[in-house]
């Protein structure tokens, strides 16, 4: 009988699947068959490795070689060279953007050096669709330990002492949340997983559910046991089809193995789990709105108190936690609260997963200990700013957060420090911006998002965010006045103080934060210092007419072989002319 | 097959750990013994695949946890294929020639476990090679 001597791990996260990793898996399998190695080499579809900018990624064990940007066409070479002859394929190795050297081990890469993976521990290591692989990496041991050796109070104490705080953004102590729900007397209680990840650019929760769904299921059962709930609900947006599929497969396997369902581990504890799909409304990430949506009502928030721990789903005590929070539970139970609380800063323990995006060299998913500085994340892990541009700001906390400038790059990241510099942890989206990015447009982008996502229940948010957006539109079109700036700022504070839920209360943050750090950019728009329309440099234009033919509003005039001119009044700043010009004659606003 | 106790879970875990172990041994630096098997055309023609599977068999029957098997390209000793190099931490790497399936058992008992070299098969023993 042939022995399996090598595993080819292929990333099966959404990012890599979009770059054809599923085709790659098929190609590898068929190439292996051709050379007769299909019984000794196993191809495993695994979860996100995090290095999404370099995807699709494959890793070959036990040689521990890491290949990047692998295409289905490369399968033949990988099998014939690496697998059959044992030769590493140079051209598929990652090249360090600074040192310009090829690296074959992931441990050599700066991207991984400073990371510490707790929530993402199994992503890229196991096949998420195979329960046995999860069990091999200590899966369901924590649940077994909790049910057979610990009382609900013990579990709550452990989570409390670990210092785990909600990873959805708020940072509420998880142990305390569990304790509050535990203390309520009720015939029924519920535990809910908030997988309604909605920040633009954030994909931490999706990757965890895709790469390690059992870790969330197991943690929910542990949570259910400690608060006294026999029923769990995963609320996930329908826009995450792959995560839903993997979660369904995992739930089916766990049920079949008796790891959820009736009388788990023979202890008499019952725990059932079901999935509810959300339509992807941003406000449904707010826990009261989420609960209403689960109940089948409109996803609108209600006033707190009463908190869900007192009256939540079906007016019963309910505990809502985020995906990443759950992913931290099992390691805490297995390794102890002291281990967990030894990582991180004084008030923020453990690690945080960030979706690093924007103008950095290494785009991807990173997990770092709390207290890591932004500089380390952007320059060491992220590999610095794309195209050697200058760093301008990093946006954290999504539409509820703000920008952090170069002055605060050395701030160690935790819940408190980010708040102190005018941003917030949020769910973990981190968008890096370079010198070319326009801050007024950035806040316009976020306000466009929030005014659309406002549920409409309270006036400050429904009307207020719309007015903010309109004012920003007016400013970016060059029509704004200094008075508009003052009014806008005043309106921001009004909305913050009077909106019903977190969405409205934080919606003005992008404006306030950019106005604070980049006030001059707003003033430049208002005083006309900032160009808002495209223009043509006369000396560079050769009169090829390419731009005029592309312009959707026909505002470019000029004769063939003579310099063209853009009518700035009619220009809608779409940028089509800029893309069409081959002579760099069109100037961006 | 519902799992009804922690012991049953551990049994399943032990069973499946063997299948995923090689993903871990590759990561650990330090006291892992590396066995490199020359798997170029010359090696394969001389029976390196039988050698390789014999090595994997030995590791499994002996239940060794700290041995990592890596296939490599031609090591340049085509006249003595199959070639196998043993890297024990802190010791000079030893390259053996003509290690067929039957010799593998010897290599494990003498060198890997006993620390005694197979004198008749040594091609080269030096730090100056990979």
User: What Å distances lie between residue B22 and A31, A125, A553, B28, B65, CA to CA?
Assistant: 22, 11, 62, 10, 9
The answer to whether residue A92 scores a pLDDT higher than 90 is yes
Residue A226: the pLDDT is 97
| Distance, CA of A534 to CA of A532 (rounded, Å) | 7
B contacts of A259 (beta carbons < 8 Å): 3
Determine whether A217 is exposed, middle or buried from the number of CB atoms within 10 Å of its CB (0-12, 13-18, 19+).
buried
pLDDT band at A77 (very low <50, low <70, confident <90, very high): very high
User: What whole-number distance in Å separates Cα of residue B82 and Cα of residue A351?
Assistant: 48
The verdict on residue A115 lying in a domain is no
CB-closest option in B5, B20, B26 to A133: B20
Handedness of CA A198, A291, A268, A146 (dihedral sign): positive
Distance CA A401, CA A424 (A): 5
Tell me, yes or no, whether A551 lies in a domain.
yes
| Domain-ending residue, one of A434, A469, A489 | A434
Q: For A288, phi and psi rounded to 5 degrees?
A: -70, -40
Q: Specify which residues A412 forms β-bridges with.
A: A373
DSSP state letter for A379: I
Q: Are residues A83 and A190 in the same domain?
A: no
Distance of CA A134 to the CA centre of its chain: 23
Say yes or no: A398 and A486 in one domain: no
Q: In chain A, which residues have their Cβ closer than 8 Å to the Cβ of B25? A: 62
Residue B72: the pLDDT is 81
Instruction: Please tell me whether residues A472 and A562 are part of one structural domain.
Output: no
Residue A412, CB-side half-sphere exposure with 13 Å CA sphere: 11
Q: Is B130 on the interface with A (CB under 8 A)?
A: no
- What's the mean pLDDT in A139-160? 96
pLDDT surpassing 80 at residue B128: no
Per-residue pLDDT band for A310 (boundaries 50, 70, 90) equals: very high
Q: Is A140 left (phi over 0), alpha (psi -120 to 50) or beta?
A: left
Beta bridge partner(s), residue A395: A403, A431
Predicted-complex ipTM score: 0.77
Which CATH number do you get for residue A410? 3.10.20.600
In this structure, are A309 and A428 located in the same domain? no
Cβ of B39 and A84 within 8 Å?
yes
For residue A353, pLDDT over 90 is answered with yes
For residue A514, the distance in angstroms to the closest alpha carbon of chain B comes to 44
Region of poorest pLDDT, from A167-181, A258-272, B19-33: B19-33
Q: What gap in Å lies between CA A23 and CA A56, rounded to an integer? A: 11
Residue A87 has pLDDT above 60, yes or no: yes
Which domain CATH number covers A520? 1.20.1440.230
| Best B13, B24, B73 residue to mutate vs chain A (most A CBs within 10 Å) | B13
The nearest CA of chain A is from the CA of B114 a distance in Å of: 24
A569 pLDDT exceeds 70? yes
Q: What is the CA radius of gyration of chain A?
A: 26
Report which of A24, A141, A19 is spatially closest to residue A72, judged by C-alpha positions: A24
Mean of the pLDDT values across residues A574-582? Answer: 89
Residue A82 or A214, more confident:
A214
The minimal CB distance from A258 to the residues B3, B56, B68 is found for B3
Last residue of a domain, one of A75, A107, A139: A107
Q: Is residue A120 part of a domain?
A: no
Average pLDDT (B93-116) is: 86
Long-range pairs of B65-68 with CB within 8 A, sequence gap ≥ 24:
B65/B21, B65/B25, B66/B25, B66/B31, B66/B32, B66/B33, B67/B25, B67/B32, B67/B33, B67/B34, B67/B35, B67/B112, B68/A62, B68/B22, B68/B25, B68/B26, B68/B32, B68/B33, B68/B34, B68/B35
Q: Kindly state whether residues A505 and A546 are assigned to the same domain.
A: no
Q: B50 to chain A: nearest residue by CA?
A: A2
Whole-number percent of chain A with pLDDT over 70: 100
Region A203-220 average pLDDT: 95
Say yes or no: A329 and A451 in one domain.
Answer: no
Q: To the nearest whole angstrom, how far is the Cα of A86 from the nearest Cα of chain B?
A: 4
What is the pLDDT averaged over residues A125-151? 94
Query: Given a cut of 90, is residue A96 above it in pLDDT?
Result: no
Q: Do B3 and A265 touch (CB under 8 A)?
A: yes
- What's the rounded mean pLDDT across residues A53-81? 91
What was the pLDDT predicted at B27?
Answer: 58
CA gap A468, A487 in Å, rounded = 9
Spacing of C-alpha B115 from chain mean position: 15
pLDDT at A1 (0 to 100): 37
Q: Please report residues of B whose CB lies closer than 8 A to that of A145.
A: 6
pLDDT of amino acid A488: 96
Q: How many domains does chain A have?
A: 5
How many CB pairs lie under 8 A apart between chains A and B? 104
| B130 pLDDT higher than 70 | no
Q: Average pLDDT, whole number, for chain A?
A: 92
Q: Which of A16-20, A114-118, B47-51 has the lowest mean pLDDT?
A: B47-51
Statement: residue B28 has pLDDT above 70 = no
Instruction: Work out the minimum CA distance from B1 to partner chain A, whole angstroms.
Output: 6
Assess whether the previous peptide bond of B82 is cis (omega < 30° from 0).
yes
* Partner A contacted by B68 (CB < 8 A): yes
Question: CB B73 to CB A4 under 8 A?
Answer: no
Residue B35 makes CB contacts below 8 A (sequence gap 6+) with: B55, B67, B68, B69, B70, B84, B85, B86, B87
Q: What is the pLDDT of residues A535-553, one digit of tens each?
A: 898 888 999 999 999 899 9
Instruction: Mark whether A365 and A446 lie in a shared domain.
Output: no
Residue of A nearest to B10 (CA): A141
* Residue B49: per-residue pLDDT: 84
Whether A142 and A102 map to the same domain: the answer is: no
Q: Does B44 touch chain A (CB under 8 A)?
A: yes
**Parallel, antiparallel, or unpaired for β A41-46 and A6-11?**
parallel
In this model, does residue A423 exceed pLDDT 80?
yes
Strands A58-61 and A41-46: unpaired
Tell me, what's the pLDDT at A109?
A: 86
Check: CB of residue B34 under 8 Å from CB of residue B68: yes
Using an 8 Å CB-CB cutoff, list chain A residues near B45.
none
**Global pTM value:** 0.86
DSSP-assigned letters across all residues of B14-37: HHHHHHHTHHHHTT--SSPEEEEE
Q: In this predicted model, what pLDDT tens digit does every residue of A240-273 receive, in sequence order?
A: 999 999 999 999 999 999 999 999 999 999 999 9
Mean predicted confidence (pLDDT) in A327-346: 96
Contact B52, B69 (CB under 8 A): yes
- Is the pLDDT score of B29 beyond 70? no
Closest CB from A7, A86, A258 relative to B23: A7
Q: Do A257 and B3 touch (CB under 8 A)?
A: yes
Whether B6 sits inside 8 A of A145 (CB atoms) is yes
A44 shares its domain with A66: yes
Is it the case that residue B2 has pLDDT exceeding 90? no
Task: Check A135 against B68: CB less than 8 A apart.
Answer: no
Percent of chain A surpassing pLDDT 90: 71
**A179 and A63 together in one domain:** no
User: Nearest Cβ partner of B26 from A61, A83, A257?
Assistant: A61
What's the CA gap between A206 and A213, in Å, rounded?
10
Opening angle at CA A272, ends A172 and A286, nearest 5 = 30
Q: Is residue A392 part of a domain?
A: yes
Percent of chain B scoring above 70 in pLDDT: 90
Q: What is the mean pLDDT of residues A48-58?
A: 90
Same domain, A320 and A362: no
Identify the domain containing residue A560 by its residue range.
533-589
**Apex CA A146: angle with CA A144 and CA A148, to 5°?**
65
- Name the helix (H) or strand (E) containing B38: strand B33-38
Total number of residues shown for chain A: 589
Q: What is the C-alpha separation between A447 and A510, in angstroms, rounded? A: 8
Q: How far is A81 from chain B (nearest CA, A)?
A: 9
Q: Domain of A236: which CATH number?
A: 3.40.50.11540
Q: Which domains does chain B have, with CATH numbers?
A: 29-125 (3.40.30.10)
Residue A285 lies in a domain: yes
């Amino acid at each position: 009988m042939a022995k399996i001597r090598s595993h080819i791990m292929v990333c099966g996260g959404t990012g890599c699947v979009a770059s054809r990793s599923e085709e790659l898996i098929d190609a590898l399998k068929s190439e292996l068959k051709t050379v007769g190695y299909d019984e000794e080499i196993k191809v495993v579809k695994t979860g996100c490795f995090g290095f999404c900018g370099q995807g699709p990624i494959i890793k070959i064990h036990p040689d521990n070689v890491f290949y990047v940007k692998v295409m289905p066409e490369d399968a033949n070479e990988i099998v014939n060279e690496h697998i059959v002859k044992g030769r590493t394929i140079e051209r598929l190795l990652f090249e360090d953007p600074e040192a310009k050297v090829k690296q074959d081990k992931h441990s050599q890469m700066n991207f991984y050096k400073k990371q510490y993976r707790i929530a993402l521990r199994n992503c890229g290591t196991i096949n998420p669709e195979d329960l046995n692989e999860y069990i091999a990496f200590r899966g369901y041991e924590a649940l077994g330990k909790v049910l057979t050796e610990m009382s609900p109070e013990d579990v709550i104490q452990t989570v409390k002492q670990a210092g785990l705080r909600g990873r959805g953004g708020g940072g509420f102590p998880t142990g305390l949340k569990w304790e509050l729900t535990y203390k309520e007397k009720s015939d029924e209680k519920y535990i809910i997983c908030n997988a309604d990840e909605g920040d633009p650019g954030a994909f931490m929760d999706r990757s965890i559910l895709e790469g390690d769904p059992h870790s969330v299921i197991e943690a929910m059962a542990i949570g259910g046991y400690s608060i006294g709930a026999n029923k769990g609900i995963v609320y996930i947006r329908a826009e995450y089809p792959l995560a839903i599929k993997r979660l369904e497969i995992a739930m089916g396997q766990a049920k079949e193995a008796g790891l959820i369902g009736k009388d788990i581990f023979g202890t008499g504890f019952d725990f059932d789990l079901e999935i509810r799909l959300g339509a992807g409304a941003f406000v449904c990430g707010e826990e009261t709105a989420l609960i209403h949506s689960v109940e089948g009502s409109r996803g609108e928030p209600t006033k707190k108190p009463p908190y869900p721990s007192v009256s939540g789903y079906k007016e019963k005590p309910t505990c809502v936690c985020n995906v990443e929070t759950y992913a931290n539970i099992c390691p805490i139970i297995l390794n102890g609260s002291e281990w967990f609380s030894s990582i991180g800063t004084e008030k923020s323990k453990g690690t945080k997963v960030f979706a690093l995006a924007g103008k950095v060299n290494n785009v991807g998913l990173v997990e770092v200990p709390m207290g890591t500085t932004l500089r380390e994340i952007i320059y060491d892990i992220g590999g610095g700013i794309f195209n050697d541009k200058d760093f301008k700001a990093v946006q954290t906390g999504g539409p509820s957060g703000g920008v952090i400038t170069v002055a605060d790059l050395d701030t160690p990241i935790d819940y408190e420090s980010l708040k102190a510099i005018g941003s917030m942890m949020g769910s973990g989206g981190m968008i890096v911006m370079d010198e070319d990015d326009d801050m007024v447009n950035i806040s316009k982008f976020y306000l466009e998002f929030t005014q659309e996502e406002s549920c409409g229940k309270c006036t400050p948010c429904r009307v207020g965010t719309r007015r903010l957006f309109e004012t920003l539109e007016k400013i970016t079109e060059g029509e704004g006045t200094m008075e508009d700036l003052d009014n806008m700022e005043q309106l921001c504070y009004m909305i913050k103080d009077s909106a019903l839920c977190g969405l409205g209360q934080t919606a003005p943050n992008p404006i306030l934060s950019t106005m604070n750090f980049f006030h001059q950019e707003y003033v430049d728009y208002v005083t006309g210092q900032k160009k808002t329309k495209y223009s043509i440099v006369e000396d560079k234009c050769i009169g090829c007419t390419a731009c005029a033919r592309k312009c959707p509003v026909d505002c470019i005039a000029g004769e063939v072989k003579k310099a063209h001119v853009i009518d700035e009044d009619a220009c809608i700043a779409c940028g089509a002319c800029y893309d069409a010009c081959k002579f760099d004659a069109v100037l961006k606003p | 097959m519902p799992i009804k106790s922690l012991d049953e879970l551990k049994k399943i875990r032990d069973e499946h750990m063997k299948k995923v172990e090689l993903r871990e041994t590759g990561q650990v630096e330090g006291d892992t013994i590396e066995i490199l098997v020359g798997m170029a055309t010359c090696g394969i023609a001389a029976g390196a695949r039988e050698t390789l599977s014999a090595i994997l068999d030995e590791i499994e029957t002996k239940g060794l946890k700290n041995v990592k098997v890596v296939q490599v390209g031609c090591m340049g000793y085509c006249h003595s294929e199959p070639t196998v190099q043993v890297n024990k931490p802190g010791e000079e790497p030893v390259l053996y020639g003509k290690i067929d399936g039957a010799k593998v058992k010897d290599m494990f008992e003498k060198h890997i476990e006993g620390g005694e070299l197979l004198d008749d098969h040594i091609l080269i023993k030096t730090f100056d090679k990979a």
